[in-house]
Structure 1
C-alpha cells in the first residue's frame, strides 16, 4: 500500500506584547531629553508607526517567546510533551549560547528531548523557520513543531539615532505546525545575498569579554527600501507559482511589518486590494522575526483569517535575506 503524503498544517497561533506601550509622542519626549529631535508626525509620515512595545530590563526574548508559545499551544489544544521540534527565529537571543529555543523548551517543561534550535535570518527569520519546520515534518522526522518569532530589539537600538530607534519594538508570535494528510504549508521560497550585509547589520561581537565593534543596529534606509520592494514582489510570485496559485487566490497577505510604504508597494505590485493585507505595524512597530506571527495571530483571533483560506507570508531582512510561504489555514 502506498504511503499517504505528509503535509504540515497550522493548528494554533499565539502572540505576546510586553505591557510597556510607547507612543510616538512618549518616545519623542524621551529622545528630546537626550537632545534628539523627532515627532509623531515625522515618524507616522515615514513609517506608519504610531506606537511600539518595549520589554522591561529583566524580561528576555525567551520570556516573550514563552508567553506567545503558551497561547499557541492552548489554541492548538495539544499536550506540550507532544511537541518534538522547537524553532525560534530571533536576532536578539538571550545568550550567545545556548539557543533561545533550548531555553524555551525548558521553560515550557518539555522533556521529550526533541530538537530545539534558533534560526537567524533577521526579519525573514519566521519565513525561514516555517520552511524548515515544514520540511522536517514532511520528511517524517518530526510530527508537531512549535515555530516562534521573538525579539527584544530595544536592546540593540541606538537612541541617539532617530532614523532607526523609532522603527523597532519587542514582541513574540508563535504557531504550532502538525503533520497532516491535508495540505497546509503549500510552498516556501527562501533567498539570501550576503553582499548586502553592510546596509542592515549590528556589526559587533564578544571578544575577550568585551564588545568588539558596534553593538547597535545600523541601517541604510534608502538602500534597504529599494532592495526590499524589489525582492518581496519576486519572492511572493515565486512562492505562489510553487503553490500553483495566482495572486487573486490569496485571501490574506501578511508581510513583514517594517514600513507601511514598503508593505503597500508590495501589495500594489501583486495586484491585491489593500483590504486583504494584515497591517499591525502601526501598533507594533517593526518587531523583526516576530512581526509576521504577531500579525498572523491578531488576524486569526479577530476572525479575519478563517479555515481553508490562503495566507501569503513574506519577509525581508538583514543578511540580506528574504523569503515567503503560502499557507492554507
Structure 2
C-alpha cells in the first residue's frame, strides 16, 4: 500500500513589503516597538490591488514545477486551501487546474480551514494516496487576508501577511506521515471571522465575541484565541504521542502554526519546550494563515539537514475553531 510523502515545497510572496518603520511614519501614535515585541513581526508581504489568492497560488506552483522538474501532467489531484477565494463560485481549484495546465482528469477541491488547513490538507492527500485514488497530489495554500483589513486597523494590519505555498505530496512505500488528530469547536466561531460576503443576511450573521474596535471586515479576539490555544494544543500533542506510543523525548521539533510570538511563547512555556525545538520564524512575513506551516517547513529544511530518523510534530490551530496535528519524518534535503 502506498503512503503519502511530504515532498518539495515552493513559496511565493507578493512583491510589496510593508515594514513596521513605514507604518510608524504613517501612524506616529502607534507603538510599533511594543507591537513587534508581542507579535514578533517586523514586516509583511502584501498582495497588490487586483492580485488574488489564485495569482499567488499559480506563482508558487509554477516555481515548484520549475525548481523540481515536475511535469504538470503527472498531477492527479489538486487540493487548494484558502479563506480568500477569488469567487464564491466557481471553485478556485478548478480555475487553477486550467491556469496551471493540469490534466482535465485531475481532481480539484477547495477547502476553507485557515490556520489548521495545511495539516488537514496533508491528511486528505494521505487518504487519496492510500485509497489509490491519486498518486501525486498538489497541495496549495494561498491567503490574502490583507483584503479584509482596514488601513487604520492597528491590531490586524501589524500581524497578517499574504503568501502562497505549493507542496508536492507523492506516494511512497514508507509511512512518513501518521498519527493524525483533529478538533473543531464552532462555538468559538465568533473569535475570528468575516461576517459578510456569504449568503447569510447581515442581520442574522455571527456577531463578534466582543466590541468591534476597528472598521476591518476581519474581526479577531486575540486574547480568547490565546486562551483556546494554550489549553487545546498541549492536550492535542499529548494525545498524538500517547496514541503513537511515543513521548516528548522522541520528538525533534514541534513545527506549529506561526500565529504570533506571544502565542507560541506561551505554548513553549506551557509545554516546557526549548526554543530550538519549537521554532518561531515569522518576523519578515507575519502570520500567513494556512501558509505558515509549509513556509516554516521549507525554511527549516534549508537550515537543518533532515534525516530519516528525525521525528517532527506538525500542528495547526485557529479560526473555526479548528485544530489538527500529526507526526512526520522527513528525509528530504532542502
The two structures have a TM-score, normalised by structure 2, of: 0.88
Quick one: distance in 2 between partners of 1:290 and 1:231? Answer: 21
Quick one: distance in 2 between partners of 1:237 and 1:208? Answer: 38
Q: Who is 2:329 aligned against?
A: 328
Task: Report the secondary structure of 1:13's partner residue.
Answer: strand
Offset, 1:243 = 3.6
2:304 aligned with 1:304: yes
Offset, 1:207 = 5.6
Task: Report the secondary structure of 2:293's partner residue.
Answer: helix
Offset, 1:212 = 9.5
When residues 212 and 66 of structure 1 are mapped into structure 2, their CA distance, relative to the original with a 3 A threshold, is farther
2:124 aligned with 1:136: no
Offset, 1:242 = 3.8
2:15 aligned with 1:30: no
More off after superposition, 274-283 vs 217-226? 274-283
Gaps of 5+ in 2: 206-214
Contact 2:148 2:216 in 1 (8 A): yes
More off after superposition, 261-270 vs 102-111? 261-270
Q: Who is 2:7 aligned against?
A: 11
Quick one: distance in 1 between partners of 2:202 and 2:194? Answer: 15
2:144 aligned with 1:148: no
Task: Report the secondary structure of 1:282's partner residue.
Answer: coil
Offset, 1:174 = 2.1
Quick one: distance in 1 between partners of 2:135 and 2:115? Answer: 26
Quick one: distance in 1 between partners of 2:204 and 2:14? Answer: 30
Deviations 1:250-306 (A, max 9, x none): 222221111112112223433432112332221111111111111111222x24151
Q: Who is 1:284 aligned against?
A: 285
Q: Who is 2:217 aligned against?
A: 216
Offset, 1:76 = 4.6
2:169 to 177, 196, 204: 177
Gaps of 5+ in 1: none
The two structures have a TM-score, normalised by structure 1, of: 0.90
Aligned residues: 320
Contact 1:91 1:121 in 2 (8 A): yes
Contact 1:84 1:142 in 2 (8 A): yes
Task: Report the secondary structure of 2:317's partner residue.
Answer: strand
2:238 aligned with 1:240: no
The correspondence of residues 97-108 of structure 1 with structure 2, limited to 5 A, is: 97-108=89-100
Q: Who is 1:80 aligned against?
A: 72
Offset, 1:206 = 4.5
Q: Who is 1:44 aligned against?
A: 36
Offset, 1:90 = 0.9
Contact 1:172 1:293 in 2 (8 A): no
More off after superposition, 132-141 vs 276-285? 276-285
Task: Report the secondary structure of 2:137's partner residue.
Answer: strand
Q: Who is 2:250 aligned against?
A: 249
2:311 aligned with 1:319: no
Contact 2:72 2:103 in 1 (8 A): no
